[in-house]
Amino acid sequence: MKIQHIFFDLDNTIWDHRKNAYLTIKDLFKKEEIALQYNIDFEEFHSVYHEINESLWEKIRDEIIDKEYLRKHRFYDTFKHFGVDNEDLSMSFEEHFLDKILNYNELVEGAEYILDYLKSKNYTLHIISNGFKEVTERKCILSGIDHYFQTITSADTIGVRKPRPEIFEYSLHLAKATKEESILIGDDWIADVVGAQNFGMDVIFFNVLNENKEEEGLKVITHLLQLKEYL
């Protein structure tokens, strides 16, 4: 059956979370004078934060922790790595981070062009995100891409995250779409690729980090404009 519905992951597939987070944390770091007070280099701080945050998000995906644990620990554990055991400072960073990150709305390179292209080809576009419900829609609105998507599914809406099949089922039902006429595009190997495959839905792996992941017959892109080769 011909593909009619395209489901996009949001963070780091369309909305450049890595870049926006970097810029936000850099602002907070400067405002709180962390380098001056604690003699911590920002680039080192961000590198440690990034590793910790990625690991925590993997644990959320795998249902080992919940979002409250992530919010409590990603900055706390980062500061603690540098010998700063200050829960108030960590939670202040967390609260301001969630608020201020939406001041930055950089998109992944080629995102708007490819969304325009796909709309011109009469595909119906959707978002299916593991992100928090309260920020997913605001990211789309504030970055000016909400009008491209007929539906937006956030994991918090149904209480499960990719790769669980329930979120794919929910999103397709919301979109009034079938597996056979749908395809997912995402950057997370487990959540997006394995999740979609186990659900029985076609998928394109956006290998933005050039991970050493190979699978016979799998559609892979390293830049969003390469979607034109498949769609």
State how far the Cα of 223 lies from the Cα of 208, in Å rounded to an integer.
7
Q: Is residue 42 predicted with pLDDT exceeding 80?
A: yes
Beta partners for 5? Answer: 124, 182
Beta partners for 151? Answer: 126
Q: Could you count the other beta carbons within 10 Å of the beta carbon of residue 6?
A: 22
pLDDT confidence band for 38 (50 / 70 / 90): very high
State how far the Cα of 42 lies from the Cα of 52, in Å rounded to an integer.
15
Return the biggest CA–CA distance within the chain.
61
State how far the Cα of 123 lies from the Cα of 35, in Å rounded to an integer.
49
State how far the Cα of 73 lies from the Cα of 56, in Å rounded to an integer.
9
DSSP structure class, residue 53: H
Tell me the pLDDT tens digit for each residue of 171-211.
999 999 999 999 999 999 999 999 999 999 999 999 998 88
What percent of the chain lies above the pLDDT cut of 70? 100
| Mean pLDDT (whole number) for 140-168 | 95
pLDDT confidence band for 117 (50 / 70 / 90): very high
For residue 195, count CB atoms less than 10 angstroms from its CB and return exposed for 0-12, middle for 13-18, buried for 19 or more: buried
* Whether the domain at 5-15+107-229 and the domain at 17-103 fall into the same CATH topology: no
Query: Domain spanning 5-15+107-229: which CATH class is it, in words?
Result: alpha beta
Q: Is residue 132 predicted with pLDDT exceeding 90?
A: no
Residue 165: cis peptide before it, omega within 30 degrees of 0: no
pLDDT confidence band for 59 (50 / 70 / 90): very high
The CATH fold of domain 17-103:
DNA polymerase; domain 1 (1.10.150)
Tell me the pLDDT tens digit for each residue of 67-112.
899 999 999 999 999 999 999 999 999 999 988 999 999 999 999 9
**pTM value?**
0.92
Quickly list DSSP for 130-190: SS-HHHHHHHHHHTT-GGGEEEEEEHHHHT--TTSHHHHHHHHHHHT--GGGEEEEES-II
74 sits in which H/E element: helix 67-81
Domain boundaries, the chain: 5-15+107-229, 17-103
